[in-house]
Structure 1
């Protein structure tokens, strides 16, 4: 008998983290001022945003409130790469706990699985943003893309209304599943030029949960 239950958010996050953390760790300090596909962020700001997401969504997994009101520079200390890896591990553990992706969580009272997929999306799409900004390639695990596809389609209208997704981009006819996902968030999966990594119309973040 086929198991129709979707993978747990914690399992998908573990897979996504295995792809994203090495990309973050290998980002040189000389690249922190480079522009990214997120119009409002350079690499440093993008990494600070992703760091905040990784930390705050641990609380949301435990059905506690998150606080995105501050804007600490988490890259100020020399060991920020180690701390990002540690906090990402805590995020995976938080969403792997029994019941983490059940019920509702967050200030908007959203389904916990949807909230978990928000941080999964950030960890995946912002890894692509980082790779694009620093001249590297990034391809997430197909299981992560498959796990995100339906959730992203469902959250897209709300995310566009909130201004955190750009208008959907028409993907290439031969687009991969991940390229279609990027297009849904407002990113051009194959920018016309390699000189400016910022595709027109994209917004700063994929995150729509504010705690």
Structure 2
């Protein structure tokens, strides 16, 4: 059983679930729209690639200035699956290596505890897994442990809902199920 006291332990499983979904996208679906209104399925995968190219740097305490613009440009290069595989090849093994993580990490929110960064990444992976599933016409069920953890985090940190335009405005959930509540809080009409 996975230790859920630290969100870092949950990120590899979330990466694996997204990976399975990326691998299942057929060629005709990369241009399909997602609930992220400005992103196609391919654009969403590019966003996830960017997050996971940065993750190994962030986890060891490298600042955004030092990483610079090395991940600017077309990350997919016509191969969304390959781009995701390359991004996760460095990111996924970095998460369980907790003894190498900096106590504080540098993000667009400034310096935060590494455990908080993991909460943010788990939230991002969980919600974007659903976005990817919806856009690609896949089964939309999500891991209940990831959903519960992401929901608890977003409800405890209002900046995640109101700051920096990260998410669409909340909508009314279709049910009181944690998945539906999480998605509705982040503007996803289920």
TM norm structure 1: 0.75
CA distance in 1, matches of 2:132, 2:139: 9
Q: How many residues get paired?
A: 183
Stretches (4+) displaced over 4 A:
67-70, 99-102
Residue number among 148, 155, 158 corresponding to 2:157 in the alignment: 155
Indicate the residue corresponding to 1:128 in structure 2: 130
- After TM superposition, the structure 1 = structure 2 runs for residues 75-90 of structure 1, keeping only pairs within 5 Å, are 75-78=76-79, 80-90=80-90
Cα drift, residue 89 of structure 1:
4.4
Unmatched tracts of structure 1, length 5 or more: 191-211
- After TM superposition, the structure 1 = structure 2 runs for residues 1-211 of structure 1, keeping only pairs within 5 Å, are 6-66=4-64, 67=67, 69=69, 70-78=71-79, 80-99=80-99, 103-107=103-107, 108-172=110-174, 174-188=175-189, 190=190
CA distance in 1, matches of 2:38, 2:29: 16
Q: What is the CA RMSD across the aligned residues, in angstroms?
A: 2.4
Unmatched tracts of structure 2, length 5 or more: none
Secondary structure at the aligned position of 2:157 is classed as: helix
Structure with the higher helix share, 1 or 2: 2
Residues 124 and 140, structure 1, Cα contact 8 Å, conserved in 2: yes
TM norm structure 2: 0.83
CA distance change for structure 1 residues 8 and 158 in 2, over 3 Å: closer, same or farther? closer
